[in-house]
Amino acid sequence: MKIIITKNYRELSKKAAEIVIKELQKRPKMVICFATGSTPLGLYRNLIEAVGEGKISFRDVISFNLDEYYPIKKNSKQSYYYFMFHNFFNKIDIKKQNINFLNGETKNPEKECKRYQKKLKKYKIDLQILGIGVNCHIGFNEPGSSKDSGTRLVKLEECTRKENSRFFKTKKDVPKMALTMGIKDILSAGKILLLASGKKKAKALKKMVEEPPNKDCPASFLKLHKNVIVIADKEAACLLKKQKFYAKRKL
Ligand code: GLP
């Protein structure tokens, strides 16, 4: 796990974009799995800018997304489908037919997860973008998720519903379930880029970095992967034991 600490959120987003841009310039036909949440928004804004400047293109990129609430209508403003199109896909040159999403409208979640899992097997993910939940979840792999978990329907923890209620009118409106790629699916990616910003992520980040892989902190399973880059801003990294060491390293 390579850890990079940045001064602030702006630098975090810039650094993350540099990494994605470099990868994409090397391999324009990449398979990228995207994450939602506020954290990757700065990265997405930088990527949109890079497309506008002609530095990169998503023309040949195949995309997947980590998760989706269940049940939820695609056109609901709170769906991750809406989030991705509104904040990113509509502003870059990705082809709609190359975008893969878990369908939160399905009547048969089990079948939908099987369909997605099959697609994931067909296209190996080159780059996985991740955020982290305050309870250490990645995607919607809540504490208790096993390292062998695949794409499935999960029950959301109350703290996750509370945390995500900022995107809804009230907490009651936050769906109780979600469809998510599993830890095993995430670990099968060639490279993983996890972003963490702000004080409220500090405890989760400390657990992820300093604890051995364990189910109570699903993000800690990322230690089982050989190519993980974590970019955290100073606030998110403030509880790390070795923060001075990480901060001194050249970016
Ligand atoms: C949600 C998503 C996660 C995301 C997390 C953090 O629960 N399912 O994929 O990493 O929120 O979101 P934020 O970046 O808004 O803190």
Least Cα distance to 178 among 220, 141, 127, 128 occurs for 141
CA of 145 relative to ligand 1 center, distance in Å: 16
Assess whether pLDDT exceeds 70 at residue 251. Answer: no
pLDDT of amino acid 49: 98
In angstroms and rounded to an integer, the radius of gyration of the C-alpha atoms of the chain is: 17
pLDDT in tens, 58-114: 999 999 999 999 999 999 999 999 999 999 999 999 999 999 999 999 999 999 999
pLDDT of amino acid 245: 76
Assess whether pLDDT exceeds 90 at residue 131. Answer: yes
The b-or-e profile of 168-194 (16+ CB within 10 A means b, else e) is beeeeebbebbbbbbbbbbbebbbbbb
pLDDT in tens, 161-218: 999 999 999 999 999 999 999 999 999 999 999 999 999 999 999 999 999 999 999 9
Pocket of ligand 1 (CB under 6 A): 35-39, 66-67, 131-133, 139-140, 160, 164
Nearest CA to ligand 1 atom 13: 37
